[in-house]
Structure 1
Amino acid sequence: MSTSKRSQNSSSRGWGSYTAFLFAAVGSSIGLGNLWKFPYELGLHGGTFLVVYVFCVVLVAFPLMLSELAIGRLGRESPIRSIAGIVKEYRYSTLWQGIGWLGIITGFLIFSFYSVVASWILFYLMQSLGGSLIDAPAEIVRHSFSALLRNSDQMILWHSVFVLMVVSVLSQPVRVGLERAVRFLMPLCAVFVIWLYFNLSDVGNVAAAKEFMFSFSLQNITPELVVSALTQALFSLSIGIGILILYGSYLSDDRPLLIGAGAIAVFDTLFAVAMAVFIFSIVFKFGLQANAGPGLIFQTLPVAFSQMPQDQSWVASLFFLLLLIAALTSGFALLEPTIAMLVDRTNLPRRAAAWLAGSVAWALGLLSVFALQGNQFGFFYFSKEYYHGYFDLFNILSTHLLLPLTALLITLFVSWVLPRTLVRETMRLRYSFTFSLWRFCSRTLAPIIIGVVLLLVLAYPS
């Protein structure tokens, strides 16, 4: 692809500012991965999970972020066309184009069940705003989540509302819809997090939460923990779904990739840890169990909220509002690559492409909604039985298999296939040590770690 063509694409559909890019990229990573999945994985495995997770972020996810942003800067198109353009220009095998397709399919599949989880957030947000959690009997609150899962009408309603919210933003041009949304939502999210954290000592047991979270035992490292930690790092930082390639394509050539990737990784990790401290502080304050699994946020925490004094009822509403903001920013990131692909390959107007992608994702999400009724199929994975049919299948298939597979192909393509000088020039890394460190992680450590995890996923669970 010629330099003039790249410059034209960058100016016509790029970010209005570097700040907008950072807001959007941080917003894509700060989502339900931090507020729903990270706390329940940490609750199941203890502080050992946090240590392994941080290692995975530093050694695997961060180098991969630089690789994806570099692909976007080189290609200046949607993930599929970016990689296709690079492959054509440098005469590589066309098989590498599969990376773009795999990433978009993965993100789209995640969005289909992600929007169902977001429907739970909307339901509990309405409950908290309406005062239904105030002084409610703990047993009733505890069973309200299982009752919601059996109520397909409620889930379809809120699933539809969430998809409409995402599509209504993404149907606008990038600078009008996505950029304005993240410029508003991300500072609001930061204000809410700071507010909750500084009021934490009044509503929770901070000491117990930190003791639980920051404990480490080498004996607790299991194959399942390693798989969960790596896939959580990839999922949380939006690796392998094409969004960082797309966001990188919107970024001008003179902007530093290292600072952007570093800011995303740091803010995402700090946000996840801060919210975990908040969640477990409340859980331990009211004597509840931390190892509740996926129901931690929607079963255990509402019980704690119901036992709070009436003058602290704002905590529940603010928490679920924060969850909704995080879900929206990640929802934008999951669906945007599909929309960009449709615009590039079919010449559909952006509005039509957004509604088409949203409609198909909504319909696919219905499979997960009805799977939660418990009348589909079950299977075993890492010696644990999963019985929510397509909901569990989509979750495990996308996050534990497709996500690391895409990540592996990306790190091999950028660090082994693309010319060394081209990659360094694209990344704008000034110091040789910095580039050498990235190259070692990307060429050696990341492929080995991801390869081991893929082997565990494919061989161990059976």
Structure 2
Amino acid sequence: FVIFIALLIYAMNLEEFSQSWHFMFAFEPHKITFNTFVESLGQVFFSLSLGVGTIATYAANAQRNENLLKSSLWVVLSGIAISLIAGLMIFTFIYHFGGKPSEGVGLLLISLPLAFSSLGSSGAIIAALFFIAMLFAGLTSTISMLEPSVSILRDKYNFSQAKASYILSSGIFTLGFLVIMWNDASLSLPLIYGKSLFDILDLLTSSCLMPLGMLILLLFLGWHIKKSHLRVWTPYFSNALFYIWWWILRLIAPIIIIAILIS
């Protein structure tokens, strides 16, 4: 947070900050389509690691008297805050060096380094700070994403925490290495249905497995677990709020996720 806020303050002193602000916040209702909502919800799944067991694993390790509603709000609000800070700061840098906003890997690993490199020695300092911040963000995400699988090996198959972590990390490293090699044009590895291995895995996880995993979880909680049990587990809800949440769980959220999957 300290690094990102410092970089934001630096970006606010550049002329292109207003251009970045307009790019992010200019309201153009004619551009809002059904796809806008579908893509936004897909991004929510990715940002909050929904549908992959991460949140359930954290909740299982929480104190029994933990207010999960309050914890969830802190996670969501802090996620929104850091996203807005990062967006304003990143797009200001991109515009400042004459680039155009791209997305995903291209933005982080191609556009930004080129922008930083044109700053000379000060660019090297800013780049170092930025990628240190990204390292922490990536590391914390990696730990949380690994933990559900580690928990299964530890609790069901009596692996030690360290052994489970090493085995899974090795598998992920190997798969990650294959993904990188597939993107190396000089190796001329075959495309799969016209897509690279990275694109296939991206499509499979964010567009299929995560929404499907969340749908199964919602149906299990909303239709299989007794309502009385859910009520006991959520003492921080008022009765009215509980019923609203319960019907979102049973009906509204599953319908939205099915719409995402169909699209």
Q: In the alignment, is residue 349 of structure 1 matched against residue 160 of structure 2?
A: yes
Identity %: 28
Q: Deviations over 1:253-295 (max 9, x none)?
A: 1111111011001101111111011111111222211135531
5 Å-filtered alignment, 1:52-71, equals none
Shift of 1:344: 1.4
Counterpart for residue 11 of structure 2: 200
Q: In the alignment, is residue 425 of structure 1 matched against residue 232 of structure 2?
A: yes
Counterpart for residue 363 of structure 1: 174
Q: Deviations over 1:161-213 (max 9, x none)?
A: xxxxxxxxxxxxxxxxxxxxxxxxxxxxx221222222222356221111111
| Selected match of 2:117 from 306, 312, 330 | 306
Counterpart for residue 208 of structure 2: 401
5 Å-filtered alignment, 1:211-226, equals 211-222=22-33, 224-226=35-37
**Could you tell me whether the CA contact under 8 Å between 1:204 and 1:278 is conserved in 2?**
no
> Secondary structure at 1:199's aligned position in 2?
helix
5 Å-filtered alignment, 1:104-253, equals 190-203=1-14, 205-222=16-33, 224-253=35-64
Counterpart for residue 413 of structure 1: 220
Code of the residue aligned with 1:259 in structure 2: it is K
CA distance 1:286–1:394, shift in 2 (3 Å) = same
CA distance in 1, matches of 2:229, 2:105: 43
294-303 vs 436-445, which moves further: 436-445
**Could you tell me whether the CA contact under 8 Å between 2:5 and 2:85 is conserved in 1?**
no
Q: In the alignment, is residue 267 of structure 1 matched against residue 81 of structure 2?
A: no
CA distance 1:295–1:279, shift in 2 (3 Å) = same
Structure with the bigger RCO (C-alpha within 8 Å, sep 6+) is 1
Counterpart for residue 448 of structure 1: 255
CA distance in 1, matches of 2:102, 2:10: 24
CA distance 1:294–1:355, shift in 2 (3 Å) = closer
> Secondary structure at 1:313's aligned position in 2?
helix
Gaps of 5+ in 1: 1-189, 380-385, 457-462
Counterpart for residue 124 of structure 1: none
**Could you tell me whether the CA contact under 8 Å between 1:412 and 1:443 is conserved in 2?**
yes
TM-score relative to the length of structure 1: 0.53
Counterpart for residue 190 of structure 2: 376
TM-score relative to the length of structure 2: 0.91
CA distance in 2, matches of 1:446, 1:251: 24
CA distance in 2, matches of 1:231, 1:281: 25
| Selected match of 1:319 from 115, 122, 130 | 130
CA distance in 1, matches of 2:4, 2:248: 32
Counterpart for residue 20 of structure 1: none
CA distance 1:339–1:193, shift in 2 (3 Å) = same
Output the aligned Cα RMSD. 1.9
Shift of 1:216: 3.0
CA distance in 1, matches of 2:104, 2:34: 18
Shift of 1:229: 1.6
Counterpart for residue 288 of structure 1: 99
**Could you tell me whether the CA contact under 8 Å between 1:206 and 1:277 is conserved in 2?**
yes
**Equivalent residue pairs, number:** 260
CA distance in 1, matches of 2:15, 2:115: 10
Code of the residue aligned with 1:261 in structure 2: it is S
Shift of 1:416: 2.5
Q: Deviations over 1:194-238 (max 9, x none)?
A: 222222223562211111111233432345544322111011001
| Selected match of 1:438 from 229, 237, 245 | 245
CA distance in 2, matches of 1:376, 1:226: 34
Code of the residue aligned with 1:252 in structure 2: it is Q
Counterpart for residue 392 of structure 1: 199
Code of the residue aligned with 2:191 in structure 1: it is F
Q: Deviations over 1:368-421 (max 9, x none)?
A: 122112422143xxxxxx632x21111110111000011111112212222222
CA distance 1:439–1:215, shift in 2 (3 Å) = farther
Code of the residue aligned with 1:391 in structure 2: it is F
